[in-house]
Amino acid sequence: MPPVNKSAPGPFSIPVRVYYEDTDTAGVVYYANYLRFLERGRTEWLRALGVEQLRLAQEDGIVFAVRSLNIEYLKPARLDDALAVLTELTLAGRAQVTLKQWIERDGEPLVEATVRVACLDAQKMKPAALPEAIRRKMGAQ
């Protein structure tokens, strides 16, 4: 996969508050809920680029699916913490992208993840080329 255009802006960030429903009985974020936070980060990153996934599926027949994920849990988040979920494109291929994502509390990293997302034909559920307009919006060369 070719490298990303390094002139693209830095990481995209969204705020997330930890609610009671996100925690286990010890008041710590349950490990699987970090995946939900990361998904929100990717979705809002696309939305900020002007890519609406529902419209993309309906009009272009394209959907995205996580192909692989590597995650490191560094420190726990707790009930009522204010977090930032950051997303940055690292590689863009013809039919997949690789993203670096991390979750911070007051600038301190709690979770780090590398996520590979495949672009799929919505009907066949097989790899499809990422539309060139979207690649350009992502800053991919």
Write out the catalytic residue numbers: 24
Count Cβ atoms within 10 A of the Cβ of residue 86 and give its class: 0-12 exposed, 13-18 middle, 19 or more buried. Answer: buried
Distance of alpha carbon 37 from alpha carbon 19, whole angstroms: 12
Compute φ and ψ for 82, nearest 5 degrees: -95, 120
Question: Which residues are 66's β-sheet partners?
Answer: 117
Distance of alpha carbon 139 from alpha carbon 92, whole angstroms: 9
